[in-house]
């Protein structure tokens, strides 16, 4: 069975307001925010709006998923 764990907003976790073992010890909040601000996988201008035909819920990570699938298929 597939399930997803609900995680609190990253700022609360990284600052330590909500204790999640290991996360806040790995990276300070400001460093995460710097990386998060600069790390983009897709151009948002190309995204089809919600409710329109062709909208992709995974648009922002689709290129990464495609690359991972290709790499995994080639290495099987």
d(CA 60, CA 48): 11
Tell me, yes or no, whether 1 lies in a domain.
no
Q: Which residues does the chain have with pLDDT short of 70?
A: 1-24
- The pLDDT tens digits for 59-73 are 988 888 999 999 999
Tell me, yes or no, whether 62 lies in a domain.
yes
pLDDT value for 18: 55
Listed in sequence order, the residues at least 6 apart from 53 whose beta carbon sits closer than 8 Å to its beta carbon are none
pLDDT value for 36: 78
Note whether 19 and 34 are same-domain residues. Answer: yes
Note whether 54 and 75 are same-domain residues. Answer: yes
Q: 3-12: which pairs have CB atoms within 8 A and are 24 or more residues apart? A: 10/36
Domain that holds residue 63: 45-76
Work out the angle at residue 20's Cα, subtended by the Cα atoms of residues 14 and 22, and round it to the nearest 5 degrees. Answer: 80
- Tracing tokens 């307001």 back to the chain, one arrives at 17
pLDDT value for 76: 76
Note whether 35 and 53 are same-domain residues. Answer: no
How many domains does the chain fold into? 2
The pTM assigned to this predicted structure is: 0.50
pLDDT value for 1: 46
């Amino acid at each position: 069975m597939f399930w997803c764990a609900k995680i609190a907003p990253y700022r609360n976790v990284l600052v330590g307001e909500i204790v999640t073992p290991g996360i806040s010890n790995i990276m300070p909040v400001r460093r995460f925010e710097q990386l998060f601000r600069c790390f983009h996988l897709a151009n948002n201008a190309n995204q089809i709006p919600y409710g329109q035909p062709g909208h992709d819920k995974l648009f922002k990570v689709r290129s990464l998923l495609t690359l991972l699938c290709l790499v995994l298929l080639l290495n099987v």
